[in-house]
Structure 1
Amino acid sequence: MSAQIELSNIEKHYGAFHALKNVSLTIEKGSFVALVGPSGCGKSTLLRSIAGLETISGGTLKIAGAVMTGVPPRKRDVAMVFQSYALYPHMTVEENLTYSLRLHGVGKAEAKAKAAEVAATTGLSALLKRYPRELSGGQRQRVAMGRAIIRNPKAFLFDEPLSNLDAALRVHMRKEIRALHDRLGATSVYVTHDQIEAMTMADHVVVMRDGVIEQQGSPLELYDTPVSKFVAGFIGSPAMNFVPGTIAADGQSVRLELEGNPVLPLGRTMEVGRQVMVGLRPEHLVIAEGGDVALQLPVAVVESTGSMTYVATNTTPELTVVETRRTHLQAGNTIGITIDPGHIHMFDPTTGLAI
């Protein structure tokens, strides 16, 4: 698979502030790449740099093998979809779709034919004569995507396009965007602060922090083998639990800094007495019906959503446990927990890096 977008040692400075620091990333043709991270991590700046809306301070950016230094946005052959939709309110859906084609000299008949084709692809055929004010949020987002598709660009760039939609519509639209990507065989770069969007939509997820790439890989790679406490805490919902601990005298278990100083077997040998930060995903803490348990934890809060029960423990630090079975637990109960040693993550408490 050939590279469609290549970023090499990209820097972006705003005065003394470094928004992007030596960022290198290869985006393969036909892939769906999500840039994810907290506010201010640099993900939108990186996307806008690809689009040409930001001028990079250093490094090399290529699209389809061509260096983009000095190339204006309109000549980069990429299409951007914004969270605000950016539709022309005085134009119909059809006119919004055909506007960029007409600017590039495409004839009226050909532009209308392409608009009809794109409308069929995006479910807008019955809405071509409507104005943006007459559309729902989801329909407006489809128009924004259709306007990008009609240009047949080398890449689609999405800047948090679903942020303004309600929860149910977000779930629906992320399926639509991914299905559209697959049908078109497009290259898509998608910025979001929502790790669930990133995990469910992308082939390749890039986690950013403070202007650098913290980790990149497939969604399951990031979930199973996070390289740092930051990635481990950012990927997964509910977030990973973290508990300080010390490697016990046998070198093969860790003593947690919880009430009673419980010990968890590790399934590997580590330096005796080493201080560690233990990571435990809520869904890997299994409430035991009986027998040997690794942890005995008092219950503080029980929240049921019907299919799932979320248990918060009355400990310091508080732990979250996810139970998929129906339970009659109440605050004040004590639960026994088992955990597979293969699901125990270990991090250096100083550097935050995985051990």
Structure 2
Amino acid sequence: MTAQIELKNIEKHYGSFHALKNVSLTIDKGSFVALVGPSGCGKSTLLRSIAGLETISSGELSIAGKTMTGVPPRHRDIAMVFQSYALYPHMTVEENLTYSLRLHGVGKAEAKAKAAEVAQTTGLGQLLPRYPRQLSGGQRQRVAMGRAIIRNPKAFLFDEPLSNLDAALRVQMRKEIRALHDRLGATSVYVTHDQIEAMTMADWVVVMRDGIIEQQGRPLDLYDHPVNRFVAGFIGSPAMNFIEGKIASDGRAVDLVGGERIPLARQAEPNQPVVAGLRPEHMKLATGTPTFHFPVGNVESTGSATYLTSADGHLQLVQSERSTVSVGDRVGVEIDPTLIHLFDPQSGKRI
């Protein structure tokens, strides 16, 4: 693959605050990359640095093989879609779409033809005469995306574009954004705090925390093989359960506080303290000999699934069916030993 965007050893300081710390990332042409992480992790700062809206303190940034150091945003040939839509309220949809073209001297007839083409691609064909105030949130977001598409840029940058939409519309719009990406063969960089958006939309997910990249890779690789406890807890919904314990003297199980034992599928170093990671969807109510037990403190049913939470709130189990379990019951749990993750309690790194 050809690299469309390359970042090498990027540093960003705001006075004494170190926002980006030695960030290196290669984004291939035509790929869809999601930057994900909690609030304040640096993902939006990184996106704005690519756009040229933030000046990097040090490091090298290139787009389509050209160094962007000192190049203003308007000359980087990228298009950005914001959370706030940023539409001109006094302009029609067509005028919003064609505004950037007209600024660059494109003739009225050509701009109008391009607007019609983009409107067809984004489902805005019947809305060209309307003003933003006459549109729904989803329609306004389509206009914002259409305004980016019409320029045919080298990359699309999305800064949490679905945050203002309701849950059902977010699901619909993430499908539409991914479909647009595939139709256009675009290079897309998408910032979100929602790991479900990242997992379902992106080819490549970059997990950030405190200005560094904790892990990057294909979505299911991050789910199956998290490099540390932070990534394990961030990727997956509901979040992974963590239980403290110690490797048994034979190295083949984790001994839990209270005397119960979780068998392992591999040999581990005996007697070392560990944190066992168990995904809620991998835990099942035992039909035979249980792996361990917990008292149920809360039961939530969505109809298609049931969520059981332990009395202390530290464990959650997901059943893909309705359940007869009640609050106060003590349930036996089993889990495939090959699906158990182990982490160092001090460093958080995967063992």
Q: So what's the TM-score if we normalise by structure 2?
A: 0.99
1:133-179 Cα distance to aligned partner (Å, 9 max, x none): 00000000000000000000000000000000000000000000000
Which of 329, 347, 353 in structure 1 is aligned with 2:349?
353
Q: CA deviation at 1:299?
A: 1.1
Q: So what's the TM-score if we normalise by structure 1?
A: 0.98
Q: CA deviation at 1:318?
A: 2.1
Structure 1 CA distance for aligned equivalents of residues 211 and 17 of structure 2: 10
Report the equivalent of 2:328.
332
Structure 1 CA distance for aligned equivalents of residues 34 and 19 of structure 2: 18
Bigger CA drift: 214-223 or 328-337?
Answer: 328-337
Q: Does 1:308 align with 2:305?
A: yes
Report the equivalent of 2:290.
293
SS at match of 1:11: strand
1:206-262 Cα distance to aligned partner (Å, 9 max, x none): 0000000000000001100000000000000000001101011111111122xx321
Q: Does 1:228 align with 2:233?
A: no
Report the equivalent of 2:136.
136
Q: CA deviation at 1:104?
A: 0.3
Structure 1 CA distance for aligned equivalents of residues 99 and 293 of structure 2: 64
Q: CA deviation at 1:264?
A: 0.9
Report the equivalent of 1:274.
272
Structure 2 CA distance for aligned equivalents of residues 41 and 314 of structure 1: 32
Q: CA deviation at 1:349?
A: 0.5
- Paired residue type of 1:353: K
Structure 1 CA distance for aligned equivalents of residues 311 and 298 of structure 2: 8
Structure 2 CA distance for aligned equivalents of residues 345 and 68 of structure 1: 41
Structure 1 CA distance for aligned equivalents of residues 91 and 198 of structure 2: 33
1:1-355 to 2 correspondence within 5 Å?
1-257=1-257, 260-289=258-287, 291-315=288-312, 318-355=314-351
Structure 2 CA distance for aligned equivalents of residues 318 and 256 of structure 1: 14
Unaligned runs of 5+ in 1: none
Structure 1 CA distance for aligned equivalents of residues 299 and 338 of structure 2: 27
- Paired residue type of 2:314: E
SS at match of 1:125: coil
- Paired residue type of 1:327: S
Structure 2 CA distance for aligned equivalents of residues 49 and 297 of structure 1: 48
Q: CA deviation at 1:293?
A: 1.2
Unaligned runs of 5+ in 2: none
Structure 2 CA distance for aligned equivalents of residues 102 and 267 of structure 1: 64
Structure 1 CA distance for aligned equivalents of residues 166 and 295 of structure 2: 36
Q: CA deviation at 1:332?
A: 1.3
CA contact (8 A) 2:244 2:256 kept: yes
SS at match of 1:140: helix
Structure 2 CA distance for aligned equivalents of residues 287 and 26 of structure 1: 43
SS at match of 2:115: helix
Structure 2 CA distance for aligned equivalents of residues 280 and 12 of structure 1: 36
Structure 1 CA distance for aligned equivalents of residues 217 and 285 of structure 2: 31
Bigger CA drift: 325-334 or 121-130?
Answer: 325-334
Structure 2 CA distance for aligned equivalents of residues 73 and 187 of structure 1: 17
- Paired residue type of 2:306: T
Flag as ranges the 4+ runs of structure 1 deviating above 3 A: none
Q: CA deviation at 1:12?
A: 0.5
The alignment yields a C-alpha RMSD, in angstroms, of 0.8
Identity in percent: 75
SS at match of 2:297: strand
CA contact (8 A) 2:41 2:209 kept: yes
CA contact (8 A) 2:264 2:337 kept: yes
SS at match of 1:326: coil
CA contact (8 A) 2:244 2:274 kept: yes
SS at match of 1:126: coil
Structure 2 CA distance for aligned equivalents of residues 261 and 29 of structure 1: 53
Q: CA deviation at 1:328?
A: 1.1
1:280-308 Cα distance to aligned partner (Å, 9 max, x none): 1000111123x211012211111000001
CA contact (8 A) 2:303 2:321 kept: no
